[in-house]
Amino acid sequence: MKALVFERSLARFAAARVAGSWAPGGGARVGPLHLADVDPPELPGPGWRRITPLLSGICGSDLATVDGRSSRYFEPIVSFPFVPGHELVGHLEDQPSARVVIEPVLGCEARGIFPPCEACAVGDTGGCRHVAFGHLKPGLQTGFCADTGGGWSSSLVAHESQIHPVPEGLSDDDAVMVEPTACGVHAALAAGPVSDATVAVLGSGTLGLTTLAALRRLALPGHLISSAKYPEQRRWARELGADEVVAPDGIARAVRRSTRSLAAGRVLTGGADVVVDCVGSAESIATAVAVVRPRGRVVLAGMPGVVRLDLTPLWHREVQLVGAYAYGVEHLPGRPADTASDPDLPDPGRSGSLPRTFHLALELVAEAGLGRLVGARYPLDRFTEALTHAAEAGRRGTVKVVFDLRPETRRPAWRNA
Amino acid sequence: MSPRPGYVLEVDRSTPPLLMWHGESFRLERFPSGSRVVYPPEPLKPIEDPDAAIRAALENPLGDSAPLSALLRPGMRLTIAFDDVSLPLPPMRAPDVRQRVIEAVLDAAAAAGVDDVVLVAALALHRRMTEPELRHALGNRVYDAFAPHGLLTQHDAEDPDNLVHLGLTDAGEDVEINKRAATSDLVVYVNINLVAMDGGHKSVATGLASYRSLRHHHNVHTMVHSRSFMDQEHSELHSSNWRMGRMIAASGVKVFQIETTLNNNAFPDPFSFLSRREWEWSLRDRAGYLAASASLERTPDRIRRSIFHSMRAPMGLTSVQAGEVEAVHASTTANVYRQQLVPVEGQTDILTMGLPYICPYNVNSIMNPILVMCLGLGYFFNLYRGRPLVRPGGVLILSHPTPWAFDPVFHPSYIDFFEQVLAETTDPLEIEAKYEESFATDPWYVHLYRTGHAYHGVHPFYMWYWGAHALDHLGRVIIVGGDQAAVRRLGFRSASTLTDALEMAEDVVGRDPTITHIHNPPLFMADVT
Ligand SMILES: [Zn+2]
Ligand SMILES: [Zn+2]
């Protein structure tokens, strides 16, 4: 089968770093990613199914990996060679009509670890204590694990605990947005209770926009400010629920205005109750800490790396800095227990009384029409172009770039890449 | 030889390129044959002995008022209020006329044994003046005698401890003014009338008022219905100020008004070519133009700005009148008209104007895009009597670089207004309804206005409202040579040359439009019949 394979090759990795630092996404041309004809992954054991991807998204974390920008922290929890691609809609290989989305986190159940850790026991796989162990090679997610394959190929394997059926009404575009939307839902709910609060979301890429949509529909903040760099992002941010959209360098002014804060020097005396950083750069984290109110909360949703940061304001203002990585189950005040599951398909949706992030995301994608964020589709063999486009998506007026792995007959006539 | 009146030139093939202001520079532009160009009158001859004229005015008051000396007695509280840094433009060569008048008033007060005297800069919601600005307006002698003792104050429209609510007008408007002024035995107001809208009851009722009071006439309704501000019979702003002024008088606050008018000798050598008609340029004017243009071109923005802002106008006093407010103002207005009115027959399809580097609200700082809008659509557009120079649905073409730049110290709320409010809407009514209150009461802006040198948080709204009548009247606004993003944010079109702009205007006003260019400043007022 055809797959984009990411090899561990220190020499190529170093080359990717150089190319990536010149132009984001440029790592694809020289880096350790190449298109290959490989054997499809073996089924690792009982409960595993073969998946044929239809659409597979390109995520910011993928770009960082390809460009050699991701932190060395990941080294022990990925295994080489791996096929990237963790945002995907596909179908069960033997059932072309059964579309599914994959929850990529590889928790205890997928790893064959029994009894599961206390997080996985309640379905909160994002908090798994056994990541990298069990009968699978290391890999925090599908798309970073040598045993599972990934979405950037024509076949991969997934454990039943990862598989969610796609409801009738969702288009392929909607479905491929479920995983990034789940990240947004998780980030939004990591903000804690925010009714009547002022929440600022930094960044309006895919994560920023899905976070906005989730905040608007699930968390109901009092005032929602978003920062967006490009005109198309501004339009989306507004459409998905921001009360106010400003340029990145205007966020401090906007927060000051809407919270009627004073300023001492360059520091706000008040600030936003919660800031969700969907960028993850040193600059955005510093901004988040600077515009959050004393005793407020900063949610780090965008993948950071090694950053230099003055923590004095964090200390002095007793700010909480919390990470928001993936998904699992959510504490959602005022919502009944999870009910979205289909008895005909493998579905791990029932997790005690807490709703699964993925189910909230499936609902949100439908409600907010998030499939519209898919702006460009490329065949696998044009991956260099695709990755370059994804890296420049904002500037080029695109939000989500995906690989289109559907047979010609299954592709809509209007596909645009 | 007496100065020549204003002049309307009809452009033909022999007409040389004409000077057009363009912020901190100027351009020479050729206008299509048949265009009209309106030139200001030449400067009136100034009064030869201004100090003597001032003393004479104080002792020969107009209207129902005793001479100043008769109003002064030992033990009284005297407050002298004066116009702020927004007047005149450009700042005049020392001694400033305020200094001359205040020195004369202080001499009279000293002679009468008055020792409780306080000076107040009548700022309204403008920024506080800096020490050099105060020294320039008042002179060092006055400054050094009052400032060190805390007797030189700047009005604070947000200071609850220093405001007095005098009541409501019969139209229900709050009248709330400076407490020191309201509790004085006499308020002497020292005014400079650069244009017809200055002065009269506006001096005290606006200059010394609180935000609560000002908002009754500084709103979209009043501003759209002031046609024009400069034309007192047709200005709602004027009517409201007059109601308030009469209410202030009725509540026992005694105002002795001193108004002065200046000629339009606005530009010193070597910039005097800016005031002349191009076909009469002497070799020196031509050399001045070339030298100025060439050296400005090579000069970095900041330095160029400071060159212009350090320009001091060789203006001369053309009249001074004192006494009862309304009688004084009638005479002042006649004197303003004497210098500024230019009869113009008929309206035009396209009105063009070059905007200079300065307007009343950016003295010693940057003319930001909101001020560009205000100077063009508020100030210059309204320099008419009768009806606007441009017909309803016509096109206004402005020339100005319109940089996306703001002075963070003077204009902090302007930045947020531009970035947040104008990004949403340019409709004055929507802006007023949705945003004014939150800007006006924003504690940070209040703090910066009261303790720093910031315009009040609501000030950019007033600038926008001021242009509301023009926005309502015009079919299109085009800015030549402006920053495209900033021009778009203002809701206007942008053109790189005057020729392009004229072409774009034809979409709105049709082929072969009439074109009128106002050769301004020096300021003039079109008397349109
Ligand atoms: Zn991702
Ligand atoms: Zn686990």
The model's pLDDT over B120-167, given as tens digits with 9 standing for 90+, comes to 999 999 999 999 999 999 999 999 999 999 999 999 999 999 999 999
Which residues lie below 8 Å from residue B192, measured CB to CB, with a gap of 6+?
Answer: B83, B87, B88, B97, B98, B198, B259, B260, B262
Name which of B416, B420, B443 is nearest A262 (Cβ-Cβ): B443
Q: Evaluate if residue A344 carries a pLDDT over 70.
A: no
Residues of chain A neighbouring B447 (CB-CB closer than 8 A): 262
pLDDT at A150: 97
Which residue from B minimizes the CA distance to A268? Answer: B444
Q: Which residue has the tokens 């695709």?
A: A386
Angle between helices A282-291 and A251-259 (to 10 degrees): 20
Region of poorest pLDDT, from A207-221, A253-267, B41-55: A253-267
Q: Picking from A131-140, A381-390, B454-463, B484-493, which range would have the lowest pLDDT averaged per residue?
A: A131-140
**Contact: A250, B419; criterion CB under 8 Å:** yes
Record the pTM. 0.87
Calculate what percentage of chain A has a pLDDT beyond 70: 89
Q: What distance lies between CA B294 and its chain's CA centroid? A: 30
Residues of B near A (Cβ–Cβ under 8 Å) read: 415-416, 419-420, 423, 438, 442-444, 447
Residue A346: its pLDDT value, please?
40
- Mean pLDDT for A129-133 is 88
Is the confidence at residue A20, as pLDDT, over 70?
no
Task: State the pLDDT at residue A337.
Answer: 46
CB-proximal residues (5 Å) to ion ligand 2: A 107-108, 117, 120, 128, 130
pLDDT in tens, A289-304: 999 999 999 999 999 9
Per-residue model confidence as pLDDT tens digits over B157-214 = 999 999 999 999 999 999 999 999 999 999 999 999 988 888 999 999 999 999 999 9
- Structure confidence at residue A339 (pLDDT): 46
Give the distance, in angstroms, between the CA of residue A101 and the centroid of all CA atoms in the same chain.
Answer: 14
Instruction: Check residue A341 and give its pLDDT.
Output: 44
Helix B325-340 to helix B236-250 angle (10° resolution) is: 150
For residue B419, list chain A residues with Cβ-Cβ distance below 8 A.
Answer: 246-247, 250, 253-254
Contact A387, A58 (CB under 8 A): yes
Name the residue facing A253 among B419, B423, B438 (closest C-beta): B419
A and B: number of Cβ contacts within 8 A: 29
Cα separation, A216 vs A203, in Å, equals: 16
ipTM of the complex: 0.82
N-term to C-term CA, chain A: 22
A153 and A4 in contact (C-beta within 8 Å)?
yes
Q: What is the chain A residue with the closest CA to B416?
A: A253
CB-CB under 8 Å, B420 with A244 = yes
Q: What is the pLDDT of residue B229?
A: 63
Ligand showing the shortest atom-to-Cα distance for residue A119: 2
The predicted pLDDT at position B232 comes to 72
Q: What is the mean pLDDT of residues A276-284?
A: 96
Task: Scan for tokens 């030889």, then name that residue.
Answer: B1
Which residue of chain A has the CA closest to B442? A260
CA distance A407 to A402: 15
Which of B416, B419, B444 is opposite residue A262, by nearest beta carbon? B444
Query: What average pLDDT does chain B have?
Result: 94
Predicted confidence (pLDDT) per residue in B14-62, tens digit: 999 999 999 999 889 999 999 999 999 999 999 999 999 999 999 999 9
- At residue B43's C-alpha, the angle toward residues B37 and B48, to 5°, is 175
DSSP assignment of A205-269 equals SHHHHHHHHHIIIII-BSEEEEE-SSHHHHHHHHHTT-SEEE-GGGHHHHHHHHHT--EETTEES
Q: Do A257 and B420 touch (CB under 8 A)?
A: yes
In the predicted model, what is the mean pLDDT of residues A105-121? 94
Give the nearest partner residue to A257 out of B416, B423, B447, using CB atoms.
Answer: B416
* pLDDT, tens digit (0-9, with 9 covering 90-100), for A396-414: 999 999 999 998 777 776 5
Question: Which residues of chain B are within 8 Å of residue A250 when distances are taken between CB atoms?
Answer: 419-420
Least confident residue range of A325-339, A343-357, B104-118: A343-357
When CB atoms are compared, the residue of A250, A257, A262 closest to B447 is A262
Q: B95: cis peptide before it, omega within 30°?
A: yes
With 70 as the cut, is the pLDDT of residue B101 above it? yes
DSSP state of B492: -
pLDDT tens digits along B354-408: 999 999 999 999 999 999 999 999 999 999 999 999 999 999 999 999 999 999 9
The predicted-structure confidence for B222-273, as pLDDT tens digits, reads as follows 887 776 666 777 778 888 899 999 999 999 999 999 999 999 999 998 888 8
Distance from Cα B491 to the centre of ligand 1, integer Å: 39
Tell me whether A204 touches chain B (CB under 8 Å): no
B507 band by pLDDT with thresholds 50, 70 and 90: very high
Are the CB atoms for B225 and B429 separated by under 8 Å? Answer: no
Single-letter residue type at B259: E
B338 is written with which tokens? Answer: 């004497």
Q: How far is the CA of A115 from the centre of ligand 2 (A)?
A: 9
Greater model confidence, B25 or A277: A277
Tens-place pLDDT, residues A346-393: 444 444 568 999 999 999 999 999 999 999 999 999 999 999 999 999
Confidence band, pLDDT 50/70/90 cuts, at residue A340: very low
The answer to whether the Cβ–Cβ distance between A257 and B443 falls below 8 Å is no
Residue A345: per-residue pLDDT: 40
What would the pLDDT profile of B268-292 be if each residue is shown by its tens digit? 988 888 888 999 998 888 888 888 8
In chain A, residues 215-274 whose CB comes closer than 8 Å to chain B: 244-247, 250, 253-254, 256-257, 260-263
Q: Which ligand is nearest to the CA of A88?
A: 1
Average pLDDT over residues A207-213: 98
What pLDDT is stored for residue A126 in this prediction? 92
Cross-chain residue pair A260–B443, CB shorter than 8 Å: yes
Q: What is the pLDDT of residue A342?
A: 43
> Do residues B258 and B101 lie in contact, with contact meaning Cβ atoms separated by under 8 Å?
yes
Calpha distance B283→B175 (Å, rounded): 56
Q: What is the pLDDT of residue A417?
A: 44
Q: Which of A253, A255, A246 is nearest to A203 (CA)?
A: A246
How many angstroms away from the CA of A399 is the closest CA of chain B? 22
The answer to whether A261 contacts B444, with C-beta atoms less than 8 Å apart, is yes
Q: Is pLDDT at B410 greater than 50 in this prediction?
A: yes
- State yes or no: pLDDT of A236 exceeds 90: yes
Q: Are the Cβ atoms of A263 and B444 closer than 8 angstroms? A: yes
Task: Kindly report, residue by residue over A25-65, the tens digit of the pLDDT.
Answer: 766 666 789 999 999 999 999 999 999 999 999 999 999 88
Neighbours of A38 (CB within 10 A): 16
Percent of chain B with pLDDT over 70: 99
